[in-house]
Amino acid sequence: MDLMKKNVKYELRMYFFLFMLYSFLGWVYETILFSVDEKHFVNRGFNFGPYIRYMDLEQ
């Protein structure tokens, strides 16, 4: 039973780490994508949500 608890804690930490890693990589990808489109650095920040608004795609 004790071994099972250690494995669960490790898995939760790993899932959290992977979530943070892929969130950061997504931010880098989105920043590069919009910076290339606008031809200057665009910091997308983290407050825009996990979506791209329809208005942003039309411009």
Task: Dump pLDDT digits (tens) for 3-58.
Answer: 566 666 668 888 888 888 998 888 888 889 889 988 998 877 766 555 555 555 55
Residues 6+ apart with CB under 8 A from 59: none
User: pTM to 2 decimals?
Assistant: 0.60
The pair of three-digit structure tokens given for residue 53, joined into one six-digit string: 């608004």
Residues 6+ apart with CB under 8 A from 13: none
